[in-house]
Amino acid sequence: MRHYSKQPRFLLAVDCIIFGYDGQELKLLVIQRGFEPCKGEWSLIGGFVQLHETAEAAAKRVLKNLTGLDVMYMEQLHAFSDIDRDTEERTISVAYFALIDIQKYKQQLSEDYHPVWFSINHLPDLIFDHNQMVELAKEKLRYKAALHPLLFELLPAKFTIPQLQNLYECVYNTTFDKGNFNRKILSTHLLTKLADKDKLGSKKGAFYYKVNTKAYNDNFHSFLNFVANPHKIANGS
């Protein structure tokens, strides 16, 4: 320890970009900050890494305290280390993004944080560099969702192909051809067709599907190429 005694000390934090899907829109979970600086302003949920834990453990603790969840899709995004990013003290933040099904977990949100879901297309201005974090997380989500089935983490236990297509269209802010999308998704063999239908959208109805858990786990890291040129689509080209 004496070899490092003259090195400067600073804080290490985690910030969590929590995406959710309510069946209609892709949303982001934010809170109103309860202390200074920037008290009362909109913020990502975060906290400081404690001496006894890793950054990942700190992110899981923060997510558990807010949502009540132990297991969800979470991935490290980036380390944000601009010298003046926090107005109070030199703080480096390791950002993580997570995916949850809003309908399943909406009753588990901790009211201590006054959490609010905002549409990803109508976000409030966030403190510090949190807007930058969200934009980078959106880019990462679009890139990974084009290759891997991680968006299924946002869906309820059973869903229709039109509902799944709507989710992809929300993520990429575009419209996909219905026939091509159906063929692409079904060709992955990740879904199991159920006997019942959702008849709210039309008299004919749409069959429900569920994720084939074994196929999903076996193929999660395979390059399934759900979406071609995700960056081009996301940029509206």
From residue 135, give the alpha-carbon distance in Å to each of 120, 121, 138, 141.
10, 11, 5, 10
Domain finish residue from 146, 163, 185: 146
User: What is the number of structural domains in the chain?
Assistant: 2
Q: Are 127 and 41 in contact (CB under 8 A)?
A: yes
Domain co-membership, 109 together with 167: no
- Amino acid 228: pLDDT: 67
Instruction: Indicate if 106 and 198 belong to the same structural domain.
Output: no
pTM of this structure: 0.89
DSSP 112: G
Question: What is the Cα–Cα distance from 176 to 184, expressed in whole angstroms?
Answer: 11
Mean pLDDT by 10 residues, the chain (237 residues): 82 96 92 87 94 96 81 90 92 95 73 84 96 97 91 91 94 92 91 88 82 87 71 53
End position of a domain, from candidates 146, 177, 202 = 146
CATH number at residue 185: 1.10.10.10
Query: Which residue range is the domain that position 28 belongs to?
Result: 2-146
Q: Identify the pLDDT of residue 237.
A: 43
- 152 and 192 fall within a common domain: yes
Per-residue model confidence (pLDDT) at position 14? 97
Task: Tell me what pLDDT residue 11 has.
Answer: 95
Give me the amino acid identity at 123.
L
Q: Residue 98: its pLDDT value, please? A: 94
